[in-house]
Amino acid sequence: MATTIRRTLFYLVILAAWEVLFRLRLWPEFLFPSPFQVFRALLEGFAEQRYLVGIATSLRRILVGYGVAVLLGTLLGLLQARWRFLDETLGSLILGLQTLPSICWLPLALLWFGLNERAIIFVVIMGSLLSIAIATEHGVKHTPPLLIRAAQTMGARGLKLYVAVILPAALPSVIEGMKQGWSFAWRSLMAGELLFVSLGLGQLLSMGRELNDMSQVVAVMLVIIGIGLGMDRLVFARLATSVRHRWGLQTP
């Protein structure tokens, strides 16, 4: 409770400082809008349904791209943990590619797929696939050997051992990877949309710049933060906490 109060006060102070800075008129209004102007832009954006269309477009793209990344990434991580050969070859490639910011895939994607939906989804996939694969592989490899031996003496082997022991044991790590993958996917999507693609939140952001409408820019930024934070808090943080609690890694 005290935390909530402190946090609310903190944001009120920031808003107040923002308003004071605005009133000092240090910068022209179109470069530095007031909180109120941003709020109005936000309301207008939603009222005219521009934001709703943008949010829907961006969410559809990320759901497709991220969904594919989760499936492929988990599979890739599992294969890599299972076969040493894949780990030594593909594993090093994945680690190397992970250092490449995913937006750097955009020129390649544009040449391959053209200026369309598939190019941006490709960038989203490349943004999150690798970190999910790495986390899955890590989780599988760090399954306590004792648990595997115990399961073996109870008759578990092959696929059954994977499904009943190794996958559940890797789950906390897989979820961490999915959480990180989500934030990478979201960033990649915004970068891609900013650079070229029609509709979507990134597009609204660059439109605001072209119209010299700083309040729209800030308003869209707030929407982007809101969605990213919402997913993180409502989905992944809860998932991670419940898993950690159940596994006994964290006391409530």
Residue 160 near another protein by CB under 8 A: yes
Give the CA distances from residue 108 to residues 65, 68, 119, in Å, rounded to whole numbers and listed in that order: 17, 19, 9
Binding flag, residue 116, another protein (CB under 8 A)? no
Binding segment toward another protein, per CB under 8 A, in 40-48, 131-139, 157-165, 178-186: 157-165
* Position 142 contacts another protein (CB under 8 A): no
Among the residue ranges 16-24, 201-209, 226-234, 242-250, the one whose residues contact another protein (CB under 8 A): 242-250
Q: Which is nearer to another protein, 165 or 218 (CB)?
A: 165
Is residue 30 part of the contact set for another protein (CB under 8 A)? Answer: no
Instruction: Output b/e per residue, 215-237; b: 16+ Cβ within 10 A.
Output: bbbbbbbebbeebeeebbeeebe
Contact status: 171 vs another protein (CB under 8 A): yes
Three-state SS annotation for 54-118: HHHHHHHHHHHHHHHHHHHHHHHHHHHHHCHHHHHHHHHHHHHHHCCCHHHHHHHHHHHHCCCHH
Q: Does 155 bind another protein (CB under 8 A)?
A: yes
Rounded Cα–Cα distance for residues 138 and 133 (Å): 9
Site for another protein in 173-232 (CB under 8 A): none
Least CB distance from residue 241 to another protein, whole Å? 14
Tokens 């923002």 -> residue: 18
Among 15, 16, 104, 150, binds another protein (CB under 8 A): 150
CB 199 within 8 A of CB 53: yes
Segment lying near another protein (by CB under 8 A), choices 39-47, 163-171, 196-204, 223-231: 163-171
Minimum CB separation from another protein for residue 140, in Å?
15
Binding site for another protein (CB under 8 A): 144, 146-147, 149-156, 160, 164-165, 168-169, 171, 246-248
